Amino acid sequence: MTTNLLDQINARRTFAIISHPDAGKTTMTEKLLLWGRAIQVAGEVRGRKADRHATSDWMSMEQERGISITTSVMQFPYKECMVNLLDTPGHADFSEDTYRTLTAVDSALMVIDGAKGVEERTIKLMEVCRMRDTPIISFVNKLDREIQDPLALLDEIESVLKIRCVPITWPMGMGQDFVGVYHIKQDKLYMYKKGQGSQISEIEVRDGYDHADVRDRLGELVFNEFVESLELAQLAAEDWDEDQFLSGKITPVLFGTALGNFGVDMVLDTLVAHAPKPKDHQAVERIVRADEPEFTGFVFKIQANMDPKHRDRVAFMRICSGRYERGMKMNHVRLGKEVRVSDALMFLAGDRETLEEAYAGDIIGLHNHGTIQIGDSFTSGESLNFTGIPHFAPELFRRVVLKDPMKSKQLQKGLQQLSEEGATQVFMPQINNDLILGAVGVLQFEVVAHRLAEEYKVQCSFEPVSIATVRWVHCDDKVAFEKFKKKAHDQLSVDGGGYLTYLAPSRVNLQLMQERYPEVEFRSIREH
């Protein structure tokens, strides 16, 4: 293996931001890109976003509702590292998408609104991170406003999110009197200056925190409160322990204001210094190390119409090991087929570019003409199936009613594609020709109806249907499975991926079936 390959892989930092809506994820993303020199002036991302909305029709829904439905990938260099930032939809109805995106990152940045503290979405997302022991860096945002007592915030993070805090910086003042942050280890005070939010500017750094003008500005009382809380924070804080951080047990905490572009570079410094390089991935067959020379990767997301001019679909692949090179041949493991990839995409600050090479940790985009599904593995030859890319059992169901019966072909095709993307799940009962949609959030149905109309020219509506939940069924004992399948025939269906599922009319029914057929596995998550 060349050292170059190792150097490149070790320099990758791939992460996502987790936060509650309005905590400042978009603002933070923009400022991170500013520090990555991916944009020159803050405001470009939003501007570009608005642009895209104006030209893309289904995304207009997103604009109307002021929510972010799409996930995108941004790559930028910072210091000696190449940073990949994966954006996740903020709305709870698209949580499946978010969960799968979190399978493709090595760490996460948790942004917390300092005034509101730990909020509900953050709690959910932290649960997902914990399932994978994802290391978390925490940023308390909006220090230019009145926030909660920083000590109380740390307490809340520790008690609600069950992760211990190690403050890296400590805020001095807040709101109108936000002086800056004291970097504990460096013993330096970084002075905040208003009105510098849209660009990178020189920051005044002072030794220690005790300065006459700072005392004057805050007044003795507030200054002494700062000293006291800093001492308490240091006393209560865990010692830094890299292993504890890497296993998600402790989190470094930084303070600042994304809007004021203050503290953002310290987040990046922490990411570069401590966040893990690309981690190893579990496949059915074996564990794949990131620094193996052979190329491997898996698809965690499929997205349609990123470029409204092309109406194409892009499969997002996380590279797990080795290196992608333009024109290389890949083994599409599920199909057992070799494909030549000459036009993979990479994502520079929201722009798409054709890519010459990429390394483990990077995300690349493959043009998808309907053959790629979420969870698919690609390798440079070996037969490997990566695990852990989940489909969750939906909790909401609707029967699709087609307005024009002549269009049933288009409807089938549209639903098939939308389910491959993970926008919805589709179930085809054995008993009739119904098409049942399943979703995790109710907004997903609206998006599906909208996209069917816009992209496939199919008008349809939805009817309620009495299904409480679904389970993917599996049984090694053939005879027992046949018996079950006969008995459960009317409740069985095939999902969009071709897997057999049991549509349970009620929870009680599901429980009875599970008791009656103990040999049969009823899975609530479908993954390789």
Cβ(165)–Cβ(238) below 8 Å: yes
Q: Are strands 250-255 and 164-167 parallel, antiparallel or unpaired?
A: parallel
CA separation (Å) from 377 to 225, 485, 527? Answer: 55, 30, 12
Minimum CB distance to ligand GDP smaller for 129 or for 258: 258
The encoded tokens of residue 101 equal 């995106």
The pair of three-digit structure tokens given for residue 413, joined into one six-digit string = 């095709």
Smallest distance, Å, CB 232 to ligand GDP?
25
Give yes or no for a contact between 341 and 377, defined as CB atoms under 8 angstroms apart: no
Rounded CA separation 378/97 (Å): 20
In the complex with ligand GDP, which residue's Cβ is closer, 203 or 465?
203
Q: Are 489 and 502 in contact (CB under 8 A)?
A: no
Pick the closer one to ligand GDP by CB: 258 or 440. 258
Write out the H or E segment, with its range, that includes residue 225: helix 212-236
- For ligand GDP, the closer CB: 142 or 279: 142
Smallest distance from ligand GDP to CB 284, Å: 37
Nearer to ligand GDP, 144 or 265 (CB): 144
Task: Report in angstroms how near the CB of residue 445 gets to ligand GDP at its nearest.
Answer: 23
Of 114 and 278, the one with the shorter C-beta distance to ligand GDP is 114
- Least spacing, CB of residue 26 vs ligand GDP, in Å: 3
**Which of 23/341 has CB closer to ligand GDP?**
23
Task: Give me Rg for the CA atoms of the chain.
Answer: 25
Q: How far is the CB of 364 from ligand GDP (least distance, A)?
A: 25
Non-local (6+) Cβ contacts of 416 within 8 A are 370, 426, 496
Give 115's contacts (C-beta < 8 A, 6+ positions apart): 142, 145, 146, 147, 148
Binding residues for ligand GDP, rule: CB under 6 A, are 19, 21-27, 90, 141-142, 144-145, 257-260
Report the residue number, 260 or 375, with the smaller CB distance to ligand GDP: 260
Residues found in the chain: 528
- Output the six-digit token pair for 145: 């406003």
- The binding site for GTP consists of 19-26, 87-91, 141-144
Residues annotated in a binding site: 19-26, 87-91, 141-144
d(CA 329, CA 339): 6
Q: With CA atoms as reference, report the closest residue to 360 among 277, 276, 246.
A: 277
Of the candidates 97, 90, 106, the residue with the CA atom closest to the CA atom of residue 23: 90
Whose Cβ is closer to ligand GDP: residue 142's or residue 323's? 142
Q: In the complex, what is the shortest distance from the CB of residue 86 to ligand GDP, in angstroms, rounded to a whole number?
A: 14
* 105 SS3 class: coil
Report, in this order, helix, strand and coil percent for the chain, each rounded to 5: 30, 30, 40
Nearest to 455 by CA among 418, 400, 406, 428: 418
Q: Which two tokens stand for residue 343?
A: 């036009």
Residue 7: closest CA among 82, 108, 84: 82
CB of 153 to ligand GDP, least distance (A): 15
> In the numeric block, which tokens belong to residue 388?
């852990």
Query: Whole-number minimum distance, CB 147 to ligand GDP, in Å?
Result: 10
Minimum CB separation from ligand GDP for residue 291, in Å? 34
- Residue 128 vs 258, nearer CB to ligand GDP: 258
SS (H, E, C) 172-213: ECCHHHCCEEEECCCCEEEECCCCCCCCCCCCCEEECCCCHH
CB of 203 to ligand GDP, least distance (A): 16
